[in-house]
Chain A
Amino acid sequence: MKESMKDINGKGDFLIRFGQAHESFRLAEIEALARIAGVELEVVSYSPSVKKTSINSSSQTPFTHVRLPSVSSAKQIISRSILAQSVHELWGQGDSLSLLHDDVRKSSSHLFARYEQATFRFSVDSFQGSRTKKEQVDLINGFSFVGFEGPIRMKDPEETFTIFEEWEFDPYRTSSRQEGGKGKKSNAVINRSSSTEPKKLYLGRLISHSSRYLITQFDLKKRAYISTTSMDAELALVTANVSLAAPGKLFYDPFVGTGGFPLAAANFGALVFGSDIDGRALRGTAGWTGGTLKPEERCLRGNFEQYGLKGRLGDVWVADLANSPVRTGRGERWLDGIICDPPYGVREGLRILGHRNPPADPSPQVDENGVEKHKKPDFIPPKRPYSFHLMLHDILQFSFATLVDSGRLSFWMPTANDDDLEIPVPSHPGMHVVSVCTQPFNKWSRRLITYRRRSALEMEGETLRKDFEEYMAQMDEARRKERDVREGGGRQADELNPFRKAYFSTERRRIVEEARETMTPALGKLEFKYPDLAGTALESRGEEKSLYAEVLNYVNYVVLYYLYKIERVVVVMDGGRVAEDESPREDLAAKEDSSLAKLLAEERAVGSLKEK
């Protein structure tokens, strides 16, 4: 049994009720919010985070017991949280209902009188379980010993008390209502596991709801201007929280796109800046829209206007992070936070300024009239592929050079789930890793990595200086290698991008093999999965000798479909956006000219089809 709920330091015990998503982000967010509030947070109990490769984490408890200095600090922290649903003053807990009753009596009886006359309501929140109305009423009536005399208000009561239950995960559990005999799902009762009581219970007094409503408010579907790589609203807001966005702070996104991260940071009060190598993204001539807005509203600024945040938009400019105009090494470091989801070159190539094949003559290029090309108004500077690792280094080095002491960098990075292919968290001697949060998908994950800029004081000392020198030497070496690969003709994006390479080499091979298996019966016996497709084609020709050609067509079609499946995964990887329509046939035509067709051409080129 727990000790008294109010310990000697005058700290209070609280229960955070999380939403059921993004488990590995929860503590990082709450700890960041405690830091913003300047409050000491003690996590009393939290089950270990889920395995990074597990998507199905439904058994992860959404209840976290924390200790905080005061009710107001609990409110301050959770009212800004995206991943929490609410915070409650913890009145008691127990492994069974009777133990919970005992604990409430023991720990919180001094509070009963305080709420004796208040309007109130009780509710039941069962995690992985459910209760009938009658069971709920019985549960609630079990707490009549608190002796509240105030009127019960279901709507807007002064105080809300919640009985939280945590049940063992049981896919066969049905509510007792169904058990009770409508007969519909009676077979489920047979499979029911032994757990007939929750494994843990809590009683809490509601202190504050969270900012989860912002997920709806910032929903991409309702945003005027987004692109295929826009981060979903929930994770953009979490990113802003983890990086400590707050009123008066200056935030910057060097890969700003349509402005999703700066919007989130501005919502929490920061003055935000952004840049992008693609000017169309800033001006609004790229991307698509869901509404009927005018072109001038369909741009990054339009998004800020849509949410009433224009007053917190500092500036946006067109620039390349590898050739950034942001001042460094001169004057004060000026940024409080850097947040971004860099392009990893999975879907769109990762590019920086420069020539693929630098001309021997380094002087400016001129046109036939002797005018320097770069001075013409429609000049588009050439860009070249770039290395994934060097870009990560650029981000870390840039952050180190521009963030104030203890300023935070939060960026997203994909990695394969396979241990052999996992890409380590990049390190920098001047940047301390604060948290690594993982969002798992089937074959890969993406991570939100947050760093804190070490202070000058921390950085003193011989060891660190050495670390620095070593690090810089490593990076120079990496840069040399990158140049060698590039100049040695290795200009394919894959060669500069280990993630892309690892992902595609394994994933594509697997999917193409799966496609071949599907195709084999088609080739052998003409047992088509889609008989109408083949049948129609054959009849229309009426010639037997085209049979082989038609089969090959079909085979190509199947391969294209499977390659399309890769494309879909890639879309998700690049920004969480998935095409609604999964029909392969319609996409055949629609995607004819897209990168998909190129992929197919590549597959053909390597002769994978010729074998058949």
Chain B
Amino acid sequence: MKILTLNFLTCAVKACKSSAASYPLHPQEVELAKDEMEYNPQAMLNFLLRLDWAALRMTATELGFATLPEEMPTAEDLQQDELKMRQLHELLLETHVVSGKLVCGNCGHEYGIKEGIANFLLPSHLV
């Protein structure tokens, strides 16, 4: 599971949706890997604006990556700074969680990740 995807997902439990603590999910006991992805700066500019930057910073910090700037860089910044762009590409798209778990900060439910695929199916008492 890519760092990018973590930014788009939260706890699957309905009661957690309204709680700020449920997002982002906290990765724990993770094994990370890197896979090359198509570098497409145009595509990145398209979706960077849709990221929750604060959540991304939190995820990156928890995974032990160098802290991201507090403010999301603007499109103009990035267009002029290919290095920054490539760093973001590497973090968001190339780095992924191979195994581990994602923990909800609200209900504490743990979602397992195996072979890079997270399982968000809930037991019936949480549905």
Q: Which residues of A contact B (CB under 8 A)?
A: 247-250, 271, 273, 275, 277, 279, 282-283, 311-312, 314-320, 323-334, 353-355, 358-359, 362-365, 373-375, 377, 379, 381-382, 404
Are the C-beta atoms of A249 and B46 separated by less than 8 Å? yes
User: Known contacts A315-B96, A331-B52, A353-B122; can you find 17 more A-B pairs with CB under 8 A?
Assistant: A247-B40, A248-B45, A248-B46, A250-B50, A312-B38, A317-B9, A319-B121, A320-B121, A323-B13, A327-B8, A328-B17, A334-B8, A354-B124, A355-B124, A373-B123, A381-B123, A382-B123
**Given contacts A249-B46, A311-B36, A312-B38, A318 and B120 within 8 Å (CB-CB):** yes
Are the C-beta atoms of A283 and B122 separated by less than 8 Å? no
**Contact pattern, B 29-57, Cβ under 8 Å of A = 1, otherwise 0:** 00000001110101101110111100100
B1-33 residues at the A interface, CB under 8 angstroms: 1-2, 4-5, 8-14, 17, 23
Q: For B50, what are the chain A residues with a Cβ–Cβ distance below 8 Å?
A: 250, 331-334, 404
Could you say which of B115, B119, B124, B127 has the most chain A C-beta atoms within 10 Å of its C-beta?
Answer: B124
> CA A404 – CA B46 in complex, angstroms?
11
Question: Which residues of A have CB within 8 Å of B119?
Answer: 279, 317-318
User: Which residues 59-114 of B sit at the A interface, judged by CB distance below 8 A?
Assistant: 93, 96, 110-112
Given A328-B17, A331-B52, A353:B121 Cβ within 8 A? yes
The answer to whether residues A248 and B122 also contact, given A311-B36, A316-B117, A319-B12 and a CB cut-off of 8 A, is: no
Partner of A327, one of B9, B13, B112: B9
B10 touches A330 (CB 8 A): yes
- Pair B5/A283 contact, Cβ less than 8 Å: no
Q: Chain B: residues with CB nearer than 8 A to chain A? A: 1-2, 4-5, 8-14, 17, 23, 36-38, 40, 42-43, 45-47, 49-52, 55, 93, 96, 110-112, 115, 117-125, 127
User: A330, A375, A381: which contacts B124 (Cβ < 8 A)?
Assistant: A381
- Complexed CA–CA distance, A254 and B126 (Å): 20
B125, A318: Cβ atoms under 8 Å?
no
Q: How far is B47's CA from A312's CA once the two chains are assembled, in angstroms?
A: 14
Taking a contact as CB atoms under 8 Å apart, the answer to whether B121 and A277 are in contact is: yes
Q: Of B36, B55, B118, B122, which is within 8 A of A323 by CB?
A: B122
Decide if B123 touches A379 in the complex (CB within 8 Å). yes
Nearest CB in chain A: distance from B107 CB, A:
12
Contact status A247-B42, CB under 8 Å: yes
Closest beta carbon of chain A to B106's beta carbon, Å: 13
A-B contact pairs, 15 of them (CB 8 A): A247-B40, A271-B43, A273-B8, A312-B38, A314-B93, A323-B12, A323-B14, A324-B120, A325-B11, A328-B17, A330-B23, A331-B55, A332-B49, A365-B125, A382-B123
Q: Are A364's CB and B125's CB within 8 A?
A: yes
Expressed in whole angstroms, the Cα–Cα distance for A420 and B10 within the complex equals: 42
Question: Is the CB–CB distance between B5 and A314 below 8 Å?
Answer: yes
| B residues in contact with A358, CB < 8 Å | 124
Least CB distance, A225 to chain B, in whole angstroms: 15
Given contacts A248-B43, A327-B23, A333-B50, contact A381 B121 (CB under 8 A): yes
B1 touches A324 (CB 8 A): no
The answer to whether B120 touches A325, judged by C-beta atoms less than 8 angstroms apart, is yes
Residue on B with the closest CB to A356? Answer: B124
A328 CA to B52 CA in the complex, in Å?
Answer: 12
Chain B residues with CB under 8 Å of A311's CB are 36-38
